[in-house]
Chains A and B, each alone.
Chain A
């Protein structure tokens, strides 16, 4: 078959480049239908960014939806995973309400998911692939990484209401140190805990420096019991392993540790991350571990994945004049 190499748009070039990248790492293509039973989303509504979903009644009376998400379908359709790791990638259109325009939008999403016996090696592999995906799309990219477990553990030790947790999370996600101080005061959190929460706002950037500061703040802190320190140590180590993997791959310059990356604590846990490209105002890639979602969907294994929002990348000028080569 002959294909004219000039017919590809920049978006298509980016899409195929990403698909090739994932396939070359042993991921298999996952395809799904446009429609999914609405029930899947109804029972996991707050996992989705917006509760608004395009629905219709199928000819058999079943309430169906135009899929607003791919991850839920992948989890639903992979029941018996056992001790292996299932590695999948997808390239699907999803339908969501844009938080900016408040209208429905068709969004082209490329992404990958690993389900099963996820270990540190697999987490590092996914993060490196996220970094490489960013490099495919932009010459100047950053990947912000956080460990949600540190925040969760800190919240547990503070003994605060869900509402206060949400307010604090919002402050951390917007690097709002002054707002965080106010929430801490009104929730009667002592100065020591407030200071630790503030550390999560003010500590970001170079991974080695951040890790040193985290170790000083959490592991050398008389506020915590031995068990709590072990637990914080484990979470900091998870970040360290990623930093090591990035150094080995020579990608450490694009890695930041930044706790302003947050996700819904009901679904996500552990390592979460977000990719940014220079000159592009919105995040382009977003992902993390979602063992809690797996548990909610009655799965016993763990999971990690990410989605790339190519539509956010604008004109993708990097691909102008770039020729498509068809290889094996």
Chain B
């Protein structure tokens, strides 16, 4: 019997793109494209079992071993500090994690900087490295609103094209890091399913654009 590898894919646009990469790499599972309410899809011949999960949950499924491998954004891995192997940069879902503020913003070091973000840990680490005192405001969405309404001075968020920022008269102040989707593996699974996981990694590597 072929060894089965459980793969956690992020629901949504990025997930579709990533599944296409798996398909191109030789790990197709046609039933995944059917419109139904099934949650798990498998192709025993290719030795893969896919399931869709919320993008921010992929790393949890992998870290806790429910999935052997998965695809998660670097932003999520950084924020959660997930203890997983990061085997490949898939070069999709690309954007930047950046600090943005009102156009022409300059930081007055006499005052505590108020930072609104979904990525509390990333922001804290970034400012700790420069010894800046910050007040973190944890928001779950519409982060761009915070500086406009005076809730925060700046925001730390993902910036893809910068259109949303521009339309709200905000601009990038600092780029923290480049973000893209990464292939991750559970550390223990990697020890016992090394051959198969390495084979999938190599095949995916060959279809990266």
Residues of A within 8 A of B (CB): 99-100, 140, 142, 144, 174-176, 178-179, 205, 256, 260, 276-283
Contacts and interface: CB of A to CB of B under 8 A. Distances in A.
Interface string B63-87: 1110000000000000001011111
A175 B88 CA distance: 9
Contact of A178 (B84, B88, B187): B88
Contacts of A278: 188, 192
B188 A280 contact: yes
A100 B84 CA distance: 13
A260 B88 CA distance: 15
B65 A280 contact: yes
Contacts of A283: 187-188
Given A278-B192, A283-B187, A176 B65 contact: no
Contacts of A100: 63-64
Nearest to A277: B188
B194 interface: yes
B16 interface: no
A276 B191 contact: yes
B63 A205 contact: no
B186 interface: yes
Contact of A256 (B81, B84, B189, B191): B191
Contacts of A142: 191-192
A140 B192 CA distance: 9
B175 to A, nearest CB: 13
A178 B85 CA distance: 12
Nearest to A205: B194
Contact of B86 (A175, A276, A279, A281): A175
A282 B188 CA distance: 6
Contacts, number: 52
A174 B186 contact: no
B192 A179 contact: no
B57 interface: no
Contacts of B189: 281
28 contacts: A99-B81, A100-B63, A174-B85, A174-B86, A175-B85, A175-B185, A175-B190, A176-B85, A176-B86, A179-B89, A205-B194, A256-B191, A260-B85, A260-B187, A276-B187, A276-B188, A276-B192, A277-B188, A278-B192, A279-B65, A280-B65, A280-B188, A281-B63, A281-B64, A281-B186, A281-B187, A282-B65, A282-B188
Contacts of B188: 276-283
A277 B65 CA distance: 12
Interface string B172-188: 00000000000001111
A281 B191 CA distance: 10
Contact residues on B (Cβ < 8 Å of other chain), bracket: 20 to 34
A202 to B, nearest CB: 10
Interface string B86-111: 11110000000000000000000000
Contacts of A279: 65, 188
A277 B87 CA distance: 21
B80 to A, nearest CB: 10
A320 B182 CA distance: 39
Nearest to B77: A174
Contacts of A281: 63-65, 186-189
A281 B64 CA distance: 5
Nearest to A281: B65
A144 B85 CA distance: 15
Most buried by A among B84, B85, B187, B190: B187
A311 to B, nearest CB: 14
A175 B87 contact: yes
A47 B190 CA distance: 27
Most buried by A among B87, B186, B191: B191
Interface string B24-55: 00000000000000000000000000000000
Contacts of B87: 175-176
A174 B89 CA distance: 13
Nearest to B177: A182
A17 to B, nearest CB: 21
Given A99-B83, A280-B65, A178 B191 contact: no
Contact of A179 (B86, B186, B191): B86
Contacts of B194: 205
Contacts of A174: 84-86
B63 A144 contact: no
A99 B63 CA distance: 12
A144 B192 CA distance: 12
A208 to B, nearest CB: 16
A144 B84 contact: no
Nearest to B184: A174
B39 to A, nearest CB: 20
B54 to A, nearest CB: 18
Interface in B110-132: none
Contacts of A256: 191
Nearest to B91: A178
